[in-house]
């Protein structure tokens, strides 16, 4: 063993219990991943800042309006209101109460489209007790005979729209049909499911529902 100059044969000992340890050199891939993560974090922070700016500056509303536009750039039309449901016991959709006449001003033709004999006469008598004017009474015409599966079919022309609503309110489940007649008469065609007229209180409630105004659409909504 060679002795360094100046020691002249003296012993040299290393004291202490700590020794330097060499770690693995950092890999290049870790640096790349760290750089990518930092870039993504900055991008997310920037995107969040832009969205907050749009919210507080009101630009978000403009973006929503543009989203509702067609490809041609024209705004979409407001959705059409849903048709009002037909009220059970009424033959017509909701109508202006002022257009509904009194029973004494309505002439009703009563026809029997079932195989039960005498049903038209008995029903006409009940309608007359309610104040209606009775016109023709008899069997239904061939195009309707045995072809009305419900309780009744109420038929009227444009001039009898209000009268049709009134007549339809006295029978549950009646359906309404319009034809080209020019007068205000109403045909009451008895169907296979007919049992009896509604009582006066039930008929009045059905008429009130049939003439209840339909709420106007608010005109606002999202795309």
| Residue pLDDT, tens place only, 17-48 | 655 555 565 556 677 777 787 777 777 676 66
Mean pLDDT lowest for which of 60-64, 139-143, 180-184?
60-64
Over its C-alpha atoms, the chain yields an Rg (Å, rounded) of 44
**CA–CA distance from 134 to each of 30, 120, 121, 127, 131 (Å)?**
97, 11, 10, 8, 9
Q: Two tokens at 185?
A: 């008469």
**Highest averaged pLDDT of the listed ranges 62-71, 122-131, 207-216:** 122-131
What is the pTM (predicted TM-score) of this model? Answer: 0.57
pLDDT tens figures, 183-210: 999 999 999 999 999 999 999 999 999 9
Task: Give the Cβ contact number of residue 136 at 10 Å.
Answer: 13
């Amino acid at each position: 063993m060679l002795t360094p100059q100046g020691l002249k044969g003296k012993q040299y000992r290393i004291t202490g219990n700590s020794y330097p340890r060499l770690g693995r050199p950092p890999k290049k891939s870790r640096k790349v991943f760290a750089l990518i993560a930092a870039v993504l974090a900055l991008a997310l922070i920037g995107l969040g800042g832009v969205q907050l700016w749009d919210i507080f500056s009101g630009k978000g509303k403009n973006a929503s309006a543009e989203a509702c536009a067609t490809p041609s750039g024209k705004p979409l039309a407001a959705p059409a209101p849903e048709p009002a449901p037909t009220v059970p016991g009424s033959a017509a959709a909701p109508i202006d109460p002022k257009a509904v006449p009194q029973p004494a001003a309505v002439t009703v033709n009563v026809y029997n489209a079932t195989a039960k004999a005498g049903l038209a006469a008995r029903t006409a008598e009940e309608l007359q007790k309610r104040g209606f004017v009775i016109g023709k009474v008899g069997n239904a015409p061939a195009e309707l005979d045995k072809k009305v599966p419900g309780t009744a079919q109420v038929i009227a022309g444009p001039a009898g729209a209000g009268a049709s609503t009134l007549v339809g309110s006295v029978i549950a489940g009646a359906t309404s049909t319009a034809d080209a007649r020019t007068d205000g008469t109403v045909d009451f065609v008895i169907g296979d499911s007919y049992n009896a007229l509604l009582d006066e209180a039930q008929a009045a409630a059905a008429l009130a529902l049939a003439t209840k105004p339909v709420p106007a659409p608010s005109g606002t909504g999202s795309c």
